Structure 1
Amino acid sequence: MPASSVTPSPATPPPAPTRPAAAPPTAAELLDFARRTAADQALVESLPLDPEGRTWVRLDGPGGSEAWLIGWPPGTGTGWHDHAESFGAFATARGSLTEHSLAVRLPAGGWKTLELAEGLDRSRRLDAGTGRAFGRDHLHEVLNLSPDTHAVSVHAYYPPLPLIRRFSRTGAVLRLEQVERPEDWQ
Protein backbone atom coordinates (compact mmCIF):
# COMPACT_ATOMS: atom_id res chain seq x y z
CA MET A 1 0.00 0.00 0.00
CA PRO A 2 1.49 3.38 -0.91
CA ALA A 3 2.36 5.52 2.11
CA SER A 4 0.08 8.32 0.93
CA SER A 5 -2.98 6.14 1.38
CA VAL A 6 -2.23 5.15 5.01
CA THR A 7 -4.55 6.83 7.49
CA PRO A 8 -3.41 6.85 11.11
CA SER A 9 -5.92 5.49 13.56
CA PRO A 10 -7.40 7.95 16.07
CA ALA A 11 -5.69 6.04 18.91
CA THR A 12 -2.22 6.86 17.54
CA PRO A 13 -0.85 9.96 19.26
CA PRO A 14 0.47 12.66 16.97
CA PRO A 15 4.25 12.78 16.69
CA ALA A 16 5.98 14.89 19.35
CA PRO A 17 6.82 18.32 18.06
CA THR A 18 10.49 18.79 17.40
CA ARG A 19 12.06 21.12 19.91
CA PRO A 20 14.57 23.68 18.72
CA ALA A 21 18.02 23.28 20.19
CA ALA A 22 18.42 25.19 23.42
CA ALA A 23 20.08 28.54 23.03
CA PRO A 24 23.48 28.79 24.68
CA PRO A 25 23.58 30.71 27.94
CA THR A 26 24.45 34.39 27.83
CA ALA A 27 27.21 35.99 29.90
CA ALA A 28 24.49 37.52 32.10
CA GLU A 29 22.99 34.05 32.70
CA LEU A 30 26.41 32.67 33.60
CA LEU A 31 26.88 35.54 36.07
CA ASP A 32 23.46 34.87 37.58
CA PHE A 33 24.37 31.18 37.95
CA ALA A 34 27.74 32.05 39.53
CA ARG A 35 26.12 34.43 42.04
CA ARG A 36 23.32 31.99 42.98
CA THR A 37 25.79 29.13 43.35
CA ALA A 38 28.18 31.29 45.39
CA ALA A 39 25.29 32.01 47.78
CA ASP A 40 24.81 28.26 48.44
CA GLN A 41 26.63 28.07 51.77
CA ALA A 42 26.32 24.28 52.03
CA LEU A 43 28.04 23.86 48.66
CA VAL A 44 30.73 26.41 49.48
CA GLU A 45 31.43 24.73 52.83
CA SER A 46 31.71 21.31 51.12
CA LEU A 47 34.79 22.35 49.12
CA PRO A 48 37.95 20.81 50.60
CA LEU A 49 40.48 23.58 51.23
CA ASP A 50 44.24 23.11 51.01
CA PRO A 51 46.54 25.60 52.75
CA GLU A 52 49.16 25.16 50.01
CA GLY A 53 47.32 25.30 46.70
CA ARG A 54 44.04 25.95 44.96
CA THR A 55 41.36 23.26 45.04
CA TRP A 56 38.42 22.86 42.69
CA VAL A 57 35.32 20.83 42.01
CA ARG A 58 33.54 20.72 38.67
CA LEU A 59 29.87 21.76 38.73
CA ASP A 60 26.98 21.39 36.30
CA GLY A 61 26.66 24.78 34.64
CA PRO A 62 23.61 26.07 32.79
CA GLY A 63 23.00 25.28 29.13
CA GLY A 64 26.02 23.04 28.65
CA SER A 65 28.47 25.48 30.21
CA GLU A 66 31.51 24.42 32.21
CA ALA A 67 31.49 25.52 35.87
CA TRP A 68 33.87 25.24 38.80
CA LEU A 69 33.89 25.89 42.54
CA ILE A 70 37.44 27.02 43.39
CA GLY A 71 39.24 27.47 46.72
CA TRP A 72 42.04 30.03 46.95
CA PRO A 73 44.53 29.85 49.85
CA PRO A 74 45.92 33.19 51.04
CA GLY A 75 48.42 34.67 48.60
CA THR A 76 47.54 32.45 45.60
CA GLY A 77 46.52 33.37 42.08
CA THR A 78 46.10 32.16 38.55
CA GLY A 79 48.78 34.09 36.73
CA TRP A 80 47.89 35.84 33.47
CA HIS A 81 45.69 33.69 31.22
CA ASP A 82 42.79 33.74 28.79
CA HIS A 83 39.94 31.35 28.01
CA ALA A 84 40.36 31.05 24.23
CA GLU A 85 36.99 31.67 22.54
CA SER A 86 34.90 31.11 25.67
CA PHE A 87 33.06 33.86 27.53
CA GLY A 88 32.17 33.54 31.17
CA ALA A 89 31.58 34.89 34.63
CA PHE A 90 32.74 34.40 38.17
CA ALA A 91 31.52 35.37 41.61
CA THR A 92 33.24 35.38 44.98
CA ALA A 93 31.51 33.20 47.57
CA ARG A 94 33.85 33.81 50.50
CA GLY A 95 36.74 36.18 51.14
CA SER A 96 37.88 38.62 48.49
CA LEU A 97 39.53 38.25 45.09
CA THR A 98 41.33 40.82 42.97
CA GLU A 99 41.20 40.70 39.19
CA HIS A 100 43.77 42.42 36.99
CA SER A 101 42.77 42.47 33.33
CA LEU A 102 43.79 44.04 30.05
CA ALA A 103 41.36 46.03 27.94
CA VAL A 104 42.65 44.68 24.64
CA ARG A 105 41.80 41.89 22.23
CA LEU A 106 44.87 39.78 21.58
CA PRO A 107 45.62 38.25 18.20
CA ALA A 108 44.28 34.68 18.04
CA GLY A 109 47.66 33.18 17.26
CA GLY A 110 50.96 33.48 15.49
CA TRP A 111 52.74 35.43 18.21
CA LYS A 112 54.92 34.65 21.21
CA THR A 113 55.63 38.13 22.60
CA LEU A 114 53.63 41.37 22.49
CA GLU A 115 54.43 44.85 23.73
CA LEU A 116 51.33 46.37 25.34
CA ALA A 117 50.34 50.00 24.95
CA GLU A 118 49.85 52.19 28.02
CA GLY A 119 46.42 52.51 29.63
CA LEU A 120 45.23 48.93 29.05
CA ASP A 121 45.40 47.77 32.67
CA ARG A 122 42.19 47.37 34.68
CA SER A 123 41.85 46.21 38.27
CA ARG A 124 38.86 45.38 40.46
CA ARG A 125 38.23 43.84 43.84
CA LEU A 126 35.45 41.27 44.15
CA ASP A 127 34.27 40.76 47.72
CA ALA A 128 31.93 37.93 48.75
CA GLY A 129 28.61 38.24 46.94
CA THR A 130 30.02 40.15 43.96
CA GLY A 131 30.95 38.91 40.53
CA ARG A 132 31.59 39.87 36.96
CA ALA A 133 30.94 38.62 33.46
CA PHE A 134 33.47 38.81 30.64
CA GLY A 135 33.50 38.32 26.90
CA ARG A 136 35.54 36.17 24.59
CA ASP A 137 39.29 36.73 24.53
CA HIS A 138 39.32 38.15 28.06
CA LEU A 139 42.85 38.20 29.45
CA HIS A 140 43.27 38.43 33.22
CA GLU A 141 44.80 37.17 36.43
CA VAL A 142 42.81 36.50 39.59
CA LEU A 143 44.45 36.74 43.01
CA ASN A 144 43.64 36.17 46.66
CA LEU A 145 45.73 38.96 48.17
CA SER A 146 44.71 38.19 51.75
CA PRO A 147 47.61 37.15 53.99
CA ASP A 148 45.40 34.91 56.13
CA THR A 149 41.93 34.20 54.67
CA HIS A 150 40.89 31.54 52.18
CA ALA A 151 38.67 32.74 49.34
CA VAL A 152 36.14 30.63 47.42
CA SER A 153 34.60 31.47 44.06
CA VAL A 154 32.34 30.05 41.34
CA HIS A 155 33.32 30.25 37.65
CA ALA A 156 31.31 29.37 34.53
CA TYR A 157 32.39 29.32 30.86
CA TYR A 158 30.63 28.82 27.56
CA PRO A 159 31.46 27.04 25.42
CA PRO A 160 33.36 24.69 27.74
CA LEU A 161 37.01 25.69 27.73
CA PRO A 162 38.81 24.32 24.66
CA LEU A 163 42.12 25.56 26.07
CA ILE A 164 43.73 28.09 28.36
CA ARG A 165 46.71 30.15 27.24
CA ARG A 166 49.08 31.14 30.07
CA PHE A 167 51.24 34.25 29.87
CA SER A 168 54.06 35.89 31.76
CA ARG A 169 54.23 39.64 32.00
CA THR A 170 57.18 41.92 32.62
CA GLY A 171 56.14 45.55 32.49
CA ALA A 172 54.56 46.14 29.08
CA VAL A 173 55.79 42.83 27.61
CA LEU A 174 53.36 39.92 27.51
CA ARG A 175 54.82 36.52 26.60
CA LEU A 176 52.90 33.35 25.75
CA GLU A 177 54.34 30.63 27.99
CA GLN A 178 52.04 27.62 27.80
CA VAL A 179 48.84 26.28 26.26
CA GLU A 180 46.76 23.94 28.45
CA ARG A 181 44.06 21.61 27.23
CA PRO A 182 41.13 20.25 29.29
CA GLU A 183 42.96 17.02 30.09
CA ASP A 184 45.57 19.15 31.91
CA TRP A 185 43.09 20.40 34.56
CA GLN A 186 40.22 17.90 34.70
Structure 2
Amino acid sequence: MSALSPALSIVATPASTGTPARLAATARRFAAHPRTWRPFVRFTRPDRWYRRLELTADYEVWLLTWLPGQGTEIHDHGGSSGAFTVVDGTLAERAFPAPGRRGAVPARPLDIGGLRSFGPRYIHEVRNEGTLPAVSIHVYGPALSSQSFYRRDADGVLTLDRTEPVAH
Protein backbone atom coordinates (compact mmCIF):
# COMPACT_ATOMS: atom_id res chain seq x y z
CA MET A 1 0.00 0.00 0.00
CA SER A 2 1.27 3.47 -0.79
CA ALA A 3 2.25 5.74 2.04
CA LEU A 4 0.95 8.71 0.06
CA SER A 5 -1.97 7.60 -2.06
CA PRO A 6 -3.52 4.15 -1.64
CA ALA A 7 -5.35 4.49 -4.97
CA LEU A 8 -2.04 4.50 -6.82
CA SER A 9 -0.94 1.12 -5.51
CA ILE A 10 -2.98 -0.70 -8.14
CA VAL A 11 -0.63 0.74 -10.76
CA ALA A 12 2.71 0.09 -9.10
CA THR A 13 4.76 -3.08 -9.04
CA PRO A 14 4.31 -4.79 -5.66
CA ALA A 15 7.50 -5.70 -3.82
CA SER A 16 9.78 -4.34 -6.52
CA THR A 17 13.42 -5.15 -5.86
CA GLY A 18 14.58 -1.87 -7.36
CA THR A 19 16.20 -3.32 -10.46
CA PRO A 20 16.29 -0.91 -13.42
CA ALA A 21 13.97 -3.21 -15.40
CA ARG A 22 11.35 -3.34 -12.63
CA LEU A 23 11.60 0.38 -12.01
CA ALA A 24 11.12 0.98 -15.75
CA ALA A 25 8.02 -1.24 -15.70
CA THR A 26 6.63 0.79 -12.79
CA ALA A 27 7.30 4.06 -14.63
CA ARG A 28 5.51 2.71 -17.70
CA ARG A 29 2.52 1.62 -15.63
CA PHE A 30 2.17 5.03 -14.00
CA ALA A 31 2.55 6.77 -17.36
CA ALA A 32 -0.22 4.58 -18.80
CA HIS A 33 -2.65 5.77 -16.10
CA PRO A 34 -2.85 9.59 -16.40
CA ARG A 35 -5.49 9.72 -13.67
CA THR A 36 -2.67 8.96 -11.21
CA TRP A 37 -0.56 11.96 -12.21
CA ARG A 38 -2.32 14.40 -14.57
CA PRO A 39 -4.33 16.17 -11.80
CA PHE A 40 -1.06 17.13 -10.09
CA VAL A 41 0.73 18.73 -13.07
CA ARG A 42 1.94 22.28 -12.30
CA PHE A 43 4.59 24.44 -13.92
CA THR A 44 6.69 26.90 -11.92
CA ARG A 45 9.54 29.33 -12.44
CA PRO A 46 12.41 29.59 -11.92
CA ASP A 47 12.78 25.95 -10.87
CA ARG A 48 11.20 22.70 -12.01
CA TRP A 49 8.16 21.49 -10.09
CA TYR A 50 7.93 18.01 -8.57
CA ARG A 51 5.65 15.90 -6.42
CA ARG A 52 6.09 12.45 -4.98
CA LEU A 53 3.18 10.27 -6.11
CA GLU A 54 3.92 7.08 -4.23
CA LEU A 55 6.27 5.70 -1.60
CA THR A 56 6.59 1.99 -0.80
CA ALA A 57 9.19 0.01 1.12
CA ASP A 58 11.03 -0.69 -2.16
CA TYR A 59 10.63 2.37 -4.40
CA GLU A 60 9.14 5.82 -4.84
CA VAL A 61 7.45 7.51 -7.81
CA TRP A 62 7.83 11.21 -8.65
CA LEU A 63 6.11 13.54 -11.12
CA LEU A 64 8.36 16.29 -12.53
CA THR A 65 7.45 19.19 -14.79
CA TRP A 66 9.84 21.16 -16.95
CA LEU A 67 9.37 24.51 -18.65
CA PRO A 68 11.62 25.26 -21.65
CA GLY A 69 15.18 25.85 -20.44
CA GLN A 70 14.73 24.13 -17.07
CA GLY A 71 16.99 21.25 -16.17
CA THR A 72 19.01 19.50 -13.52
CA GLU A 73 22.60 19.86 -12.52
CA ILE A 74 24.87 16.90 -13.27
CA HIS A 75 23.90 14.45 -10.52
CA ASP A 76 23.60 10.88 -9.27
CA HIS A 77 20.88 9.29 -7.16
CA GLY A 78 22.80 8.47 -3.99
CA GLY A 79 23.04 4.74 -4.65
CA SER A 80 19.46 4.23 -5.84
CA SER A 81 18.63 2.75 -9.22
CA GLY A 82 16.02 4.49 -11.31
CA ALA A 83 13.96 4.95 -14.42
CA PHE A 84 12.07 7.84 -15.97
CA THR A 85 9.72 8.26 -18.87
CA VAL A 86 8.42 11.33 -20.67
CA VAL A 87 4.63 11.69 -20.70
CA ASP A 88 4.39 15.15 -22.34
CA GLY A 89 6.87 17.15 -24.39
CA THR A 90 10.51 16.31 -25.00
CA LEU A 91 13.51 16.11 -22.67
CA ALA A 92 17.22 15.73 -23.39
CA GLU A 93 19.43 13.50 -21.23
CA ARG A 94 23.22 13.46 -21.12
CA ALA A 95 25.12 10.72 -19.24
CA PHE A 96 28.59 11.18 -17.75
CA PRO A 97 31.50 8.90 -16.81
CA ALA A 98 32.59 8.30 -13.23
CA PRO A 99 34.23 11.21 -11.39
CA GLY A 100 37.83 11.80 -12.34
CA ARG A 101 37.25 10.87 -15.99
CA ARG A 102 36.66 13.01 -19.07
CA GLY A 103 33.77 12.80 -21.47
CA ALA A 104 30.02 12.76 -21.78
CA VAL A 105 27.55 11.05 -24.01
CA PRO A 106 25.94 13.50 -26.44
CA ALA A 107 22.48 14.61 -25.32
CA ARG A 108 19.82 12.04 -26.24
CA PRO A 109 16.30 13.29 -26.88
CA LEU A 110 13.41 11.59 -25.12
CA ASP A 111 10.01 12.21 -26.69
CA ILE A 112 6.67 11.08 -25.27
CA GLY A 113 7.07 7.42 -24.31
CA GLY A 114 10.88 7.67 -24.24
CA LEU A 115 12.34 5.87 -21.23
CA ARG A 116 15.72 5.59 -19.51
CA SER A 117 16.57 3.14 -16.74
CA PHE A 118 19.83 3.01 -14.85
CA GLY A 119 21.76 1.44 -12.02
CA PRO A 120 22.95 2.93 -8.74
CA ARG A 121 26.13 4.60 -10.02
CA TYR A 122 24.58 6.45 -12.97
CA ILE A 123 25.46 10.14 -13.40
CA HIS A 124 23.46 12.37 -15.75
CA GLU A 125 21.68 15.64 -16.36
CA VAL A 126 18.23 16.17 -17.83
CA ARG A 127 16.96 19.33 -19.56
CA ASN A 128 14.02 20.64 -21.47
CA GLU A 129 15.83 22.05 -24.49
CA GLY A 130 12.60 22.44 -26.47
CA THR A 131 10.07 25.23 -26.79
CA LEU A 132 7.13 23.46 -25.10
CA PRO A 133 6.65 22.31 -21.47
CA ALA A 134 7.46 18.68 -20.62
CA VAL A 135 6.25 16.23 -17.95
CA SER A 136 8.00 13.07 -16.75
CA ILE A 137 7.48 10.20 -14.31
CA HIS A 138 10.53 9.07 -12.26
CA VAL A 139 10.88 5.92 -10.16
CA TYR A 140 13.76 5.28 -7.73
CA GLY A 141 14.53 2.18 -5.72
CA PRO A 142 15.20 2.36 -2.91
CA ALA A 143 13.70 5.81 -2.22
CA LEU A 144 16.21 8.62 -2.64
CA SER A 145 18.04 9.57 0.53
CA SER A 146 20.80 11.72 -0.98
CA GLN A 147 22.08 13.01 -4.29
CA SER A 148 25.57 14.05 -5.29
CA PHE A 149 26.14 16.92 -7.69
CA TYR A 150 29.11 17.23 -10.03
CA ARG A 151 30.84 19.82 -12.17
CA ARG A 152 33.05 19.53 -15.21
CA ASP A 153 36.40 21.19 -14.76
CA ALA A 154 37.97 23.29 -17.52
CA ASP A 155 39.76 20.18 -18.82
CA GLY A 156 36.45 18.23 -18.97
CA VAL A 157 37.05 16.05 -15.90
CA LEU A 158 33.98 15.34 -13.79
CA THR A 159 34.47 16.37 -10.14
CA LEU A 160 32.22 15.91 -7.11
CA ASP A 161 30.86 19.29 -6.05
CA ARG A 162 28.60 18.36 -3.10
CA THR A 163 26.26 15.74 -1.67
CA GLU A 164 22.88 16.72 -0.24
CA PRO A 165 20.13 14.83 1.58
CA VAL A 166 16.85 14.51 -0.33
CA ALA A 167 13.99 16.23 1.45
CA HIS A 168 10.68 14.41 1.20
Taking structure 1 as the reference length, the TM-score comes to 0.73
Code of the residue aligned with 1:40 in structure 2: it is H
Unpaired stretches in structure 2, ≥5 consecutive residues:
1-14
Shift of the alpha carbon at 1:45?
A: 4.7
Q: What secondary structure sits across from 1:76 in the alignment?
A: coil
Range that drifts further, 71-80 or 24-33: 24-33
Shift of the alpha carbon at 1:159?
A: 1.2
**1:98-149 Cα deviation digits (max 9, x unpaired):** 10002x344xxxxxxx3x245x525321101111110111000001001x31
Q: Give matches, 1:58-137, under 5 Å.
A: 58-60=52-54, 64-102=58-96, 104-106=97-99, 114=100, 116-118=101-103, 120-137=104-121
Instruction: Please name the residue that 1:176 is paired with.
Output: 160
Instruction: Please name the residue that 1:33 is paired with.
Output: 26
Distance change in 2, residues 1:126/1:153 (3 Å): same
CA distance in 2, matches of 1:52, 1:105: 29
**1:46-78 Cα deviation digits (max 9, x unpaired):** 312124321111021566202200001110110
Q: Is the 8 A contact 2:69 2:129 kept in 1?
A: yes
Tell whether 2:133 aligns with 1:150. Answer: yes
Q: Is the 8 A contact 1:44 1:93 kept in 2?
A: no
Q: Is the 8 A contact 2:82 2:139 kept in 1?
A: yes
Q: Is the 8 A contact 2:87 2:112 kept in 1?
A: yes
Code of the residue aligned with 1:54 in structure 2: it is R
Bigger radius of gyration:
1
Unpaired stretches in structure 1, ≥5 consecutive residues:
1-21, 107-113
CA distance in 1, matches of 2:16, 2:88: 31
Code of the residue aligned with 2:21 in structure 1: it is A
- What's the RMSD between the two structures over aligned residues? 2.0
Q: Is the 8 A contact 1:99 1:125 kept in 2?
A: yes
Distance change in 2, residues 1:132/1:63 (3 Å): farther
Q: What secondary structure sits across from 2:38 in the alignment?
A: helix
Identity score, percent: 35
Alignment equivalent of 1:46, drawn from 37, 40, 50: 40
CA distance in 2, matches of 1:160, 1:92: 20
Q: Is the 8 A contact 2:16 2:23 kept in 1?
A: no
